[in-house]
Amino acid sequence: MIKTIREIAFDFRVKAGYTVAFVLLLISYIVTLYGNNQLKKQITWVKQTNRVIRNLDDLLSGMKDAESGLRGYINTRDTSFLAPYKNSFAQVNTAFNALKNDEGIDVVQQNSLTTLSSLIKQRFDKLRFAEEEYPKSNYVVTDTILHSFYWGKATMDRIRSLVSDMDLHEERLLEVRTKDLDAKYRALNAIVTTSLMLALVFAVFGFYTYFREYKAKLTANKKVLDYQKELQDRIVELDNANKQLLLMKASEKFTATGRIARTIAHEVRNPLTNIDLAVSQIKSEVPFNEETAMLFDMVQRNSERINQLISELLNATRFAELNYELVAVNTLLDAALELARDRLELNHIKTVRHYADNIPPIVVDPDKIRIAFLNLIVNAVEAMEPGEGVLKVVSRKEENKCVVQITDNGAGMTEEELEKLFEPFFTTKTNGNGLGLTNMQNIILNHKATVNVSSEVGKGTSFVIRFNLP
């Protein structure tokens, strides 16, 4: 009887230990999901704040354009200055409506918008009055017009002050929300950590009790081991799935860009061909002289330029066939640096290499990867000041990945520039065409590799590429 009671008590301890561990793991999972939802909310808040501030800036810019345009017209009597003045009405109206219809605007901002609407109307009424009165007074600035300008300046100052207060309110609101979210995250992290530790304790307790008293129950022990292995496999699967998802998103974005590029190429090249044919026909019918020759040459050169840009865009967004070989990544880096040697020496750029020796060869298309590395190196050289630049090229092995890192100490980029970095024709350079990094990303994605970039204004930029090892 006592033995039976002990067995029942033991079974209860084992089951309770694993049950509690499972419940705690489930709690950790639920808390993690909640944390992710909170992060999404924070992203929404940030976007909403940026949207409000951007619309406020557009509104204020439109008001400034209206003032500048009318002032230029009155000072010069040139009606061309009225263009930005008249366009400002639509710009201000669009920005104000966007603010008014923004669902994220709170009551304080709505009240401010009511006041702002009245001030905008007053300012535009005075500007319209000055515009209409000026021709009536034989283009002489009368005291009435001057009074209108002085009164309007005071109104504009109130508008600026109100817009500034609205900007500040949005930033404070975001700060409060961020602090609240940070507090929640600290609490969530504490709950997750505690749950995991307790789960581990209960799991160890159940296993230890089972092993100590029932060594003969090998089947049950095997189930525990299989359960642990399954959990580990699931974690690995989730990690791999997450990485594949990121790769798929990058590939989908690039595929969409390529699809748009092909559509643009089709839609542009057809009328471009018709233009070329029409020019050729007109050229054969119009009398030849220096002026017509110059115009025909201008059309032909620009047509060829458009065609060249389309070809470059298609090449930068096309999934190309690859000729795979087993190559040492350090050899590819040295080859790319050799191709860029003239640029490096001409700009007096210092090159620092840190290569790991334990990296197995990678399976890639050597020519394509050299081009990708070269694009990054050239991009880094152009971002650095001649005589002050330091280019760092690093290779290393991380688990089953070959990692290449190319870093410069150039001007760096803002977050907004980073978001657009791989978009075709986006460039911060005076003479760049904005396709070098797009082509580089195309090559990396073709190799099922990943590329990440980090940058800080005034400190430089770092590109990190991760290849799968065979």
Interval 83-118: pLDDT, tens: 887 888 888 888 888 888 887 788 888 888 888 888
pLDDT of residue 143: 75
Average pLDDT over residues 239-257: 55
Coil, strand or helix: which one is 168? helix
Residue 246's pLDDT band (cuts 50, 70, 90) = very low
Average pLDDT over residues 455-467: 92
User: Over the stretch 358-371, which tens digit does the pLDDT of each residue have?
Assistant: 999 999 999 989 98
Q: Max alpha carbon distance in the chain (Å)?
A: 120
Matching residue, tokens 């029942």: 8
Domain boundaries defined on the chain: 23-193, 258-316, 325-468
**For residue 80, what is the DSSP state?**
G
Residue 466's pLDDT band (cuts 50, 70, 90) = very high
Average pLDDT over residues 209-237: 71
User: Over the stretch 274-329, which tens digit does the pLDDT of each residue have?
Assistant: 676 667 767 667 776 777 767 767 777 776 667 666 655 555 555 556 789 999 99
Domains 23-193 and 325-468 in one fold: no
d(CA 120, CA 96): 10
Average pLDDT over residues 456-468: 92
pLDDT of residue 366: 92
The dihedrals phi and psi of 469, each to the nearest 5 degrees, come to -85, 145
Matching residue, tokens 């650095």: 384
Coil, strand or helix: which one is 425? coil
**For residue 284, what is the DSSP state?**
H
Pairing of strands 401-408, 460-468: antiparallel
Mean of the per-residue pLDDT values of the chain: 78
**For residue 286, what is the DSSP state?**
S
Residue 221's pLDDT band (cuts 50, 70, 90) = low
The vertex-457 CA angle with 456 and 462, nearest 5°, equals: 40
Cβ atoms 460, 336 nearer than 8 A: no
CATH placement of domain 325-468: 3.30.565.10
CATH placement of domain 23-193: 1.20.120
One-letter identity of residue 67 = E
pLDDT of residue 311: 59
pLDDT of residue 425: 54
Rounded to a whole number of angstroms, the distance between the first and last alpha carbons of the chain is 61
Q: How many CA atoms lie within 13 A of 407 on its CB side?
A: 16
User: Over the stretch 64-90, which tens digit does the pLDDT of each residue have?
Assistant: 888 888 788 788 877 887 888 788 888
- The model's pTM is 0.40
